[in-house]
Structure 1
């Protein structure tokens, strides 16, 4: 959420008053809708850029270009896009979105995705709620009046999975769920429905503090700096084998089939090592 929020702020500033010239897909799989066609956006003016969970929503005179970057996607901004047409399925670029900010159709961004597991998605819709992932989103954990306790009741699921489930909470991904649980001094395998009152209070405070701090740190940074900035701010996520900045213990890891989590045994599990569960449905 923090980096997507910063991207939204970056795009809102860059695209103020811009006219969308073209959406050029470079992948058969990236565009998830067909009505309206992306050609319908040509010549319309950008009126706003907003966020729904981890979805970026570019409002183009009432039509919405919605982008979900998934695990390995990103936006690569350019003030001088190449004129050459993209080749379908060639390289990491999934789509190019071109705008005219008053000096011709050369400004915009490439939507890119690294790796072979393709999850990046672009939707052209009349209403953001037409995107299934947005329609199913849980509440924003930074919204006014947010209460964690009602969401936990009856959910016999590990708290790490609880935090990452977008239908329960909107916007928290793998990295920040690790950081939140470390700040809350809580095992990622604790059951959400069995948390004591003091644990719920710690978890809600950690969600607010970690996300608020991260959003403040990311705000105002250009798209090209956001990922590196995020990595440098992580305390346990991606820090396997390094010293915990709180207690000095070695950060440990649990590896799954297509993901992993990091935690501090001293801060979070009473010194106990958690077992790998690579065949578990934990992160699905």
Structure 2
């Protein structure tokens, strides 16, 4: 799933290629991806791109046209991605015949597709007058890189939940998902199942520092890369996420996994859990 660093990279990529350009076509390839119906996607045709923003894990293409300001917002979910064309294929998009959910054409002949692989379709596209008209955007928590230590500790204090769950909760902190929460916890030397209510001042400071370091480095790595290279760059940068069975780059212990119904997490026992192996059963009593 694209997370904050990759979406920031995509926003910068699109900003450099679409700012000031006029949309000449918006074609829907998968009606299931379109979560709003008024205004219709066709209302974007003739509008000029005024900005491209990232909001958590959402991309927001702001436009100005005859109908005033409109926003094309999309969330790529688990299997979505953006495919850029310097020259968009001329053939009209045929709904249901490909993984393409949406195609956007620009006045210079360039444009992009939003694609989604697999059978579980979760990619979400909204056309709205204001970004906050999308409830999932309006309820986003603060951006992680803007959080000072005191603000971060204030987020932790009233909650009693597993720290990995807190990092992934978009209403608490915007932009962090499964992969980077694994990476942050590894750098912080903390179990994914530690409870926020048990974190002392030093642990909270360590977690905050790890969050800033991991996300800052990932954004730096994504900066300037074309859309086609962002996913591979993310995979190469992972220390533990997606590396089950490989040696930990810090201590050499074997990276372990806990599997759930539709996701998994990875961690290093030596670095994060005092050598203990976390139970790998979804409903089991997990070690902390």
User: Does residue 113 of structure 2 align to residue 110 of structure 1?
Assistant: yes
Counterpart Cα distance in 1 of 2:276 and 2:220 = 34
Secondary structure class of the residue paired with 2:197: helix
- 2:224 is the alignment partner of 1:220: yes
Q: How many equivalent residue pairs?
A: 277
Q: Partners of 2:129 and 2:147 in 1: how far apart?
A: 27
> Cα RMSD (Å) of the superposition?
1.3
Q: Where do residues 70-219 of structure 1 align in structure 2 (5 Å cutoff)?
A: 70-101=77-108, 106-143=109-146, 145=148, 147-219=151-223
Corresponding residue number in structure 2 for 1:236? 240
Structure with the larger helix share: 2
Query: Given the superposition, is the C-alpha separation of residues 144 and 256 from structure 1 closer, same or farther in structure 2, using an over 3 Å criterion?
Result: closer
State the secondary structure of the residue aligned to 2:27. Answer: strand
TM-score, normalised by the number of residues in structure 1: 0.95
Deviation at 1:91, TM superposition (A): 2.3
- Displacement of 1:144 after TM fit? 5.7
What TM-score does the superposition give when structure 2 sets the normalisation length?
0.93
Partners of 2:156 and 2:97 in 1: CA distance: 44
| Secondary structure in structure 1 of the residue aligned to 2:119 | coil
1:259 Cα deviation after fit: 0.2
Q: How does 1:22-101 map to 2 (within 5 A)?
A: 22-61=25-64, 62-101=69-108
Flag structure 2 segments of 5+ consecutive residues without an equivalent. none
CA distance in 1, matches of 2:144, 2:45: 35
Q: Does 1:265 align with 2:269?
A: yes
Are the counterparts in 2 of residues 257 and 279 from structure 1 also a CA contact under 8 Å?
no
Q: Gapped runs of 5+ residues in structure 1?
A: none
Cα distance in 1 for residues equivalent to 2:186 and 2:225: 26
The offset of 1:168, in angstroms, is 0.7
